[in-house]
Structure 1
């Protein structure tokens, strides 16, 4: 599903880029070349720049290792530029930019990208609105033409304006109102941190300001900010430089700049005059939260690198100070985090804690205050400093894996610093940070006098819901916006500029996969990938939550979580420190059928990473105190999930479809089962199911088969599992059940989550590919039928989705959307109608062509990262699919025709067997639903029992 993105503080907290200037290469600073730690080289971005006569900056980087190209346009306009009393304008306009121009109708951008196997998206933040597409390289000219068309001749009509405004309202309800901590991070935090700067307004705005907007306001906003000299074009991928320059000159260079200056908007945020505190209340807050914040500096500030390192030491990973102190030692927090946000004109650092059950806000604030004071009182250790730097350098590598990644890194540097070299200099700046620098910036910025403290608590009768601040002033007024200017309408088809032809396709390649076994039965697969010095490892076991056993839901997930919490040679803190000192990522998780242990690291430290991974898998201790910590954290996380409509609907749907069968139990456990798990349960699961003969190890990235064989033999060659292997779970899907209609009543919910559920097919079923193509048509992409009907035509949801949910046994098909409560029944009807249509009518050949392209394009893009490549290879192995399918995937998709797709849906996903689950404020829709379904079951959220197939 496509999301028109908001880049806000909330996103980082909630877990958790006609004559021309002569071209010149953007050479990296000398210090950047020497900055990386020994053995790791972070290559420069290497873009070439030119500036068109109309003021548009163009940056390009050719990469022939891919068959794709990314096109990004970054406009220097964000939510700070929203006019007074019109918050949310920049973001609203982001949505409108995907509509018609004089030369093509609505949704053409989706046709030009998704329908040919690419993708598109956009985001709005304080200072920028950015649009980006990735497509097969032979479609590049069409995208340059389309970007020029929407910059120079966008159509904004009343119907589209009102529909997209409704979509944004649903986005607001989903991200702000329905999310337990949405109000805190999206609304209350920025409005408290900033006193005068327009950054104090939330990017998405408010329902009231959105309602106040007029179409004339929006057209004037476009005329003001969408102009060539306010835009940056970034192109990266497989293209011919001279050919691209010709297309840019043909389509973009002729667009004229307006003769009026941009509105002045450079507010200086005042220095704090003393500490401030605020308390906010909201519905649906399962655990209290506290935040401490300090105003800091803008992006170009000299102390940015030191503050970045401080932030890393504060909260990155389980060896961070906040995690070690608040979560691990004191157990005062269920989760923690921090963010050093640097925008164009101001910045802030904030740290937050979602409190553990039974802990008070004062305890959380005291713990945060103590950790911040440590930075001021004493230098950080050499080990902490090295660890933070290695993590940041490794992350810089990961953020440069794909052409899209590299273009995005460049875009942020240009928007925030107006200098492409910032992106390359950043690594050198971080490496130069000393312990004294960290202590200095802590004493300069993170003082008690500058602090801002927020408490976020559940609303009740005595403390009603805190309201978003409205009527906020801003430097730009509606009166400052440019006149509307020329109004464009969609031309008659015969008068439209034709889309350019596509050029010859560039064929993607799939790697040859080495396949061998160690003497102990461990299967090893190796998929080399040239490029960055990164390697991924994925060790998978044939054991998942379906093997938990009656009354033990969550034991597979708990076992996986405890792997990093202590071995016979390392304590949990030592493991966390070692992972982060390597700049590695190591973790584990359990799905329905399998458990995966994964690692990713720079290639020079990958052998140490694999050795550590092996120790975690082979020698866990499952100490009682670690089990208790994980139990407490898991229970707190469940409380949060069970207060959010979407996750509740998903877990209830599993019970409705599978009942008491193994697949029906929540994989993460329930409040009852997690509380009852013992060390013996976990140790038994590990001893009987973590075995080399039942495991597959996949290496991908900067590694050869010979090196992989040597690593695998060294780490796992002498591994012999003790005892007897457990018997695999028999019939985890159980018998098919009668359909149900279930409402879980959550009074005051910000939205309703609507889910249609059916029993699907196993991954090995012959119907897999026909159903996969059909699911993509139904709800697997932004251009899907569900999204067209529910979001685009009616504005009833921010987005819809559907999934086959394939497993080893019969899977769980779901189609879902979140909507305002009073529209829940209408949305349910629309979903059911579209599922029914797939089983009763054949798709058009055009629909099939585009769905095939979407799937093959997404498959190709998944191979661009080492983790993505490893995941694809591991998925084939886990479901016993031949490795040859890596090369024949596209052919299997292309072979699906209309009759096969219709027949597959009619046979395997008949709508008459569908169940319906709705979670929301039932008072707003129950009568309408009961009129259609007299046997509807209504279960108060407080009475929901996920341990029972009856759900109560």
Structure 2
């Protein structure tokens, strides 16, 4: 789904989990450099050399800087254009303008009709997207390599001749309003991080305005403003063109000269915009209020340095010590030891002109924001007053360098790393220098920058609380001045128009196809029955391991939904020889990512590490699986964090809808059960231990290795780590019919007064992964809601501007799966959007799509499959998925052929048989006062349940 995202909505990873309504993390994460062989004692590895980006540079006569890097090991190419304009350049009275304009850049040019970019990317198996940050608006596409010339033609055309008419402008502005409602209003912490944090930290900098703007200032913008903005900033000498992938360099140079060389720069200069943020004159303390805030939040923040400053490296390492991973100071203190916070995080945010560092705590139930502020201040004071340990410093460096390694796994990753460096420093070399700068940071550097920047006199302290009658919701600061004025923008000139088809420059034809290659998968078993699969690749020195079990939430004991999830979460929280903090520390020392999770049918334990540290990582992984202790105090911690996550989830329409729809489709059957505030406290340590003993068995497990490893090395490693593993308990009886019997469709409204948006979900009981119609349904689902150019998104977002995006999911499972089609919209249009979704589902079962309909959707699926093959985790997931459903490994190589073989008639027949619209249920969560009357007129049998009375423990929901 094309996000057209705002990169200026900044929040730490820990807070992001709560913002998305997720329960506490079920794993300990950390990143660190690749290393020489590491002993299982957790000795920190030696540093790895991160491969240089390896781009070459050209500058055209018009000032366009072109960077390119060839990689013959991929079948794809990425094309990126980074413009030197971002939300800081929004004119006064037009906040959100750069982001609005980003949306409009995907429309028409003089030679390309509207939505052509999706035709040129998604429809040939590629992808496209864009984002707006403080200092840049970046556009990027990844396509099969034979489509490179077409993308260069298209990018040059929209740089030089964008067409925007009044209907397009109004429609896309409505989409951005829906994005604002979804990101800011419907999210309990959206106002805090999207609006209030930046406006509090900065005094004069344009960074204090939200990148997404406001409804009022979006309304104030005009078509003339848009045209002037394009004329001012979208010019060759204000852009970087980055190309990476499989191409011929000489041919690329000729195409770039042909398409970009003729573009001219306007005579007007780019408006001056270089505000120097003043030094704070004293501390600031602010309290904000918002509706539907389930847990109080505390933020402490300081202005720091711009991206190119020499102190950025030390502040980045300091941030790693502060909040990265479960061995970090904030996690250990606030979440693990004191248990006063549900989530913690910190964000080192460095931009062209200024930067900041913020630390946050979303408090646990029963704890106050004041407690969080005191605890955050205490940890910051320790950084100033006492030097960090050498071990902490090494761990943080390991995490950062390994992250740099992972961020260069694909061609688009490498191009993106270069783009950020260019925008913030103007130097391509800066990206490769960052690792050395990180490695050079000393213990003394950490204390020095803490004392220099993180002082009480420079600090902003923010408290975020639930609004009530005494404290109404805080409003966004409006009428904020900015350096750039509308009057400073260049004249628009004559409006560009889409030329008649006969007069348009023809699109270049694709070149010869470069086919993706799937690896040969080695397949063997250990003596204890453990199946081992190995998919070796060339590329960066990373290896992934995925150990999967035939046990998921559908196997939870009756009345104790969450046992499978809690079992997975507790695997990293203690073994017979290691405590939870020791495990977290070792993960970070190894530069690894290790964790576990439980789905509906299966549970997975996974690890990713630099190849030289991988043997020790697998040894740790095996210890977690074979020797967990499930200590009572660790269970209590996980239960508390999960309950806090549920409180956040139950404040958001989309999360409520997601939990409700399972009950609507499956009722009281195992597939319908969901973790609730009642089931979590009922889980005991004995429940978890019994689940593990019965269901974590080598004979029912599959271990998948993918990446920089040979089958022989994998066999030896698997034998060493898991060869002595024996089941701890008797095998359970095989589960039967977890989906239960089909139920009559229902129309359910969960009324949430004051909801910022309505979530709309249509759902049908679907099929199993092994159903003969899986591929026809997969292709049909992609036509319906798989991508930006899918039918749902076309009808709801593109044509009507009623949503930020609409999509669908086939949701195949081991038994009858859960098909859903969903979106979020303003409350007033919930009933209209529900009608549109149901109508599109109906068409697939009653009208035969054309070959022209299916061809691009087949390409979408095959292209996404090819991109998954490019990462070690993506490849491992594909292999593991086949194994979990007992499908042959040959299906990996056969995937593209299976997709291409689907006919239009098969799609219609499969939808008619399995997903007819007359069996669809509808779940809408939102402010019912704004849509219930219209919805009831169409569905007199609808059920209305107040959000506070929703009972997710029962199929009746009451």
Q: Which TM-score bucket, shorter chain as reference?
A: over 0.9
Give the one of 594, 608, 617 matched to 1:609. 617
8 Å CA contact 2:34–2:610 kept in 1: the answer is: no
- Deviations along 1:468-500, one digit per CA (max 9) or x if unpaired, are 001110000000000011311111111110000
Residue 774 of structure 2 corresponds to 768
Give the one of 866, 884, 889 matched to 1:883. 889
Residue 862 of structure 2 corresponds to 856
TM, length-normalised to structure 2? 0.97
Residues 1:816 and 2:822 aligned together: yes
Residue 728 of structure 1: CA displacement?
2.7
Q: How does 1:22-101 map to 2 (within 5 A)?
A: 38=46, 40-101=48-109
* Structure 2 Cα separation of the partners of residues 33 and 753 of structure 1: 43
Residue 508 of structure 1: CA displacement?
1.0
- Deviations along 1:195-242, one digit per CA (max 9) or x if unpaired, are 110000000000000000010011111110000000100000000000
* Structure 2 Cα separation of the partners of residues 360 and 137 of structure 1: 54
Residue 28 of structure 1 corresponds to none
Give the one of 683, 693, 703 matched to 2:689. 683
Residue 229 of structure 1 corresponds to 237
* Structure 2 Cα separation of the partners of residues 276 and 11 of structure 1: 20
* Structure 1 Cα separation of the partners of residues 344 and 738 of structure 2: 36
- Deviations along 1:294-334, one digit per CA (max 9) or x if unpaired, are 10000011100000000000000000000000000000100
- Deviations along 1:57-91, one digit per CA (max 9) or x if unpaired, are 00000000000000000000000000001000000
RMSD of equivalent CA atoms: 1.2
8 Å CA contact 1:5–1:124 kept in 2: the answer is: yes
TM, length-normalised to structure 1? 0.97
8 Å CA contact 1:40–1:533 kept in 2: the answer is: no
Residue 371 of structure 1: CA displacement?
0.4
8 Å CA contact 1:39–1:604 kept in 2: the answer is: no
Residue 829 of structure 1 corresponds to 835
Give the one of 210, 218, 225 matched to 1:202. 210
8 Å CA contact 1:9–1:341 kept in 2: the answer is: no
8 Å CA contact 1:742–1:918 kept in 2: the answer is: yes
Give the one of 219, 224, 243 matched to 1:216. 224
Residue 645 of structure 1: CA displacement?
0.5
Residue 286 of structure 2 corresponds to 278
Residues 1:705 and 2:711 aligned together: yes
Residues 1:10 and 2:10 aligned together: yes
8 Å CA contact 1:75–1:130 kept in 2: the answer is: yes
Q: Which has the higher relative contact order, 1 or 2, with Cα contacts under 8 A spaced 6 or more apart?
A: 2
- Deviations along 1:695-738, one digit per CA (max 9) or x if unpaired, are 00000000000000000000000101122011232110000000
Cα distance, 1:737–1:787 mapped onto 2, change above 3 Å: same
Residue 38 of structure 1: CA displacement?
3.1
Residue 6 of structure 1: CA displacement?
1.0
Q: How does 1:247-286 map to 2 (within 5 A)?
A: 247-286=255-294
8 Å CA contact 1:34–1:428 kept in 2: the answer is: no
* Structure 2 Cα separation of the partners of residues 465 and 733 of structure 1: 43
Residue 939 of structure 1 corresponds to 945
Q: How does 1:65-144 map to 2 (within 5 A)?
A: 65-144=73-152
Residue 348 of structure 1 corresponds to 356
Give the one of 886, 909, 913 matched to 1:907. 913
Residue 501 of structure 1: CA displacement?
1.0
Residue 41 of structure 2 corresponds to none
SS at match of 1:601: strand
* Structure 1 Cα separation of the partners of residues 202 and 437 of structure 2: 27
Residue 582 of structure 1 corresponds to 590
Give the one of 587, 601, 608 matched to 1:600. 608
* Structure 2 Cα separation of the partners of residues 726 and 421 of structure 1: 58
- Deviations along 1:584-642, one digit per CA (max 9) or x if unpaired, are 00010000000000000001110000000000000000000000000000000000011
* Structure 1 Cα separation of the partners of residues 653 and 429 of structure 2: 45
* Structure 2 Cα separation of the partners of residues 95 and 175 of structure 1: 16
* Structure 2 Cα separation of the partners of residues 587 and 881 of structure 1: 25
* Structure 1 Cα separation of the partners of residues 928 and 567 of structure 2: 38
Residue 41 of structure 1: CA displacement?
2.1
Residue 37 of structure 1: CA displacement?
6.8
8 Å CA contact 1:308–1:340 kept in 2: the answer is: yes
SS at match of 2:163: coil
Residue 663 of structure 1 corresponds to 671
Residue 315 of structure 2 corresponds to 307
Residue 935 of structure 1: CA displacement?
1.1
Q: How does 1:280-299 map to 2 (within 5 A)?
A: 280-299=288-307
Structure 2 gap ranges (5+): 18-32, 37-43
8 Å CA contact 2:11–2:347 kept in 1: the answer is: no
- Deviations along 1:73-122, one digit per CA (max 9) or x if unpaired, are 00000000000010000000000000000101000000000000000000
* Structure 1 Cα separation of the partners of residues 439 and 551 of structure 2: 42
SS at match of 1:314: helix
SS at match of 1:565: coil
Residues 1:794 and 2:774 aligned together: no
Residue 260 of structure 1: CA displacement?
1.6
* Structure 1 Cα separation of the partners of residues 934 and 868 of structure 2: 43
- Deviations along 1:339-380, one digit per CA (max 9) or x if unpaired, are 100000000000000000000111110100000011001111
SS at match of 1:902: helix
* Structure 2 Cα separation of the partners of residues 61 and 42 of structure 1: 16
* Structure 2 Cα separation of the partners of residues 494 and 661 of structure 1: 60
* Structure 2 Cα separation of the partners of residues 57 and 34 of structure 1: 36
8 Å CA contact 2:82–2:138 kept in 1: the answer is: yes
Q: How does 1:134-533 map to 2 (within 5 A)?
A: 134-533=142-541
* Structure 2 Cα separation of the partners of residues 593 and 257 of structure 1: 58
Residues 1:785 and 2:791 aligned together: yes
8 Å CA contact 1:10–1:182 kept in 2: the answer is: no
